A = this chain, B = another copy of it.
C-alpha cells in the first residue's frame, strides 16, 4: 500500500489528489497545507485521507509531492534533508522553475534520498482546492527533470498519475526554465505591466477601464493570478526571465518605431508573422 504526502493543497496539489484517487482509490493520501479551507474541503470530499503536519507526513510517506509555491518548495527540501525518511522514498515537486530546485535538491541526493523534479505545464488564474479538477493537466505537458530517482520510481510515479492523461517530457532543468520563461513567465510580466500602464494612462478618463472588451480581458487575464506565487517564480528564474524580457522589448521597440514612422510594410510584416504563428496553436 502506497502512502503519498501532498504538501500544498491549492489548485495543483488538490488536482493531483483527485488524479491519484481517480487512478487508484486504495492509495493513502496525506495532505499538508497551512490553509484550513483547502484541507477541510479535500477531507470532506474524501480526496485526501488525513491532514497532517508536513514533517509527520513526510516520515511516513513513500512518495512526497511538494506542491506549494517555489519558495516553499525550496524551504521544504531543506527541511526534508534534516529528517529521517522512509527507505525508497521518492521526493518530487511541481514547481514552475527547476534550476534552483534541482540545485537545492542535491542536499537530499547527498543523503541518498531520491529526488525528481516535475512541472505540469497547466494552471489557471483560479486558485484553491475547490477549483482543482482531475482534468487540470489533461493533454498538457508534464516535464520531468530526472535527478537521483531510479527508473522504477519514475515509472511508478507516472503510473500513480495515470488519470492525469498528460504528455510526459523528460528534459534538463536549464531547457525547462528557458521554455517556461518564454511561454509563461515573460507573458506574465508583460500582462502585469500592461495592466498597470493602461490603468495609469486611463486614470483621468471617465469611461476608462470600464470600456474594456474581450480582447483586453483575454490579453491581461493572467495578471489576475496570485502575486505571491508569481513573485516567487520570478525570484527563482530571474536571470532567464530578465534576459528574455529584454529580447521582447527589442522586438516591441522595433514595432513602436514602425508605428511611429507609419512604416506600413513593417507593421504589416510584424502582424502577419504573429498571426501565422498564433493561428498554428490550437485554442
Residues of A within 8 A of B (CB): 121-125, 140-141, 169, 171, 175, 178-179, 182-184, 186-202, 205, 207-228, 230-231, 234-235, 238-239, 241-242, 244-257, 259-260, 262, 264, 267-268, 270-275, 277-281, 283
Residues of the B chain whose Cβ atoms lie less than 8 Å from the Cβ of A175: 205
Q: Known contacts A190-B252, A256-B242: does B274 contact A196 (CB below 8 Å)?
A: yes
Q: Known contacts A187-B220, A189-B256, A270-B193: does B121 contact A211 (CB below 8 Å)?
A: yes
Pair B255/A252 contact, Cβ less than 8 Å: no
Residues of the B chain whose Cβ atoms lie less than 8 Å from the Cβ of A254: 193
Pair A198/B218 contact, Cβ less than 8 Å: no
The CA of A183 and the CA of B255, in the complex, are separated in Å by: 18
Give chain B nearest CB distance to A72 CB in angstroms: 14
Residues of the B chain whose Cβ atoms lie less than 8 Å from the Cβ of A188: 215
Residues of the B chain whose Cβ atoms lie less than 8 Å from the Cβ of A244: 197, 201
Listed residue (A218, A219, A264, A267) with the most chain B CB atoms within 10 angstroms of its CB: A219
Q: Enumerate 16 A-B pairs (CB-CB under 8 Å) in ascending A order.
A: A178-B201, A186-B198, A187-B215, A188-B215, A189-B255, A198-B248, A201-B244, A209-B277, A217-B281, A220-B274, A225-B271, A225-B275, A228-B268, A231-B271, A242-B259, A245-B252
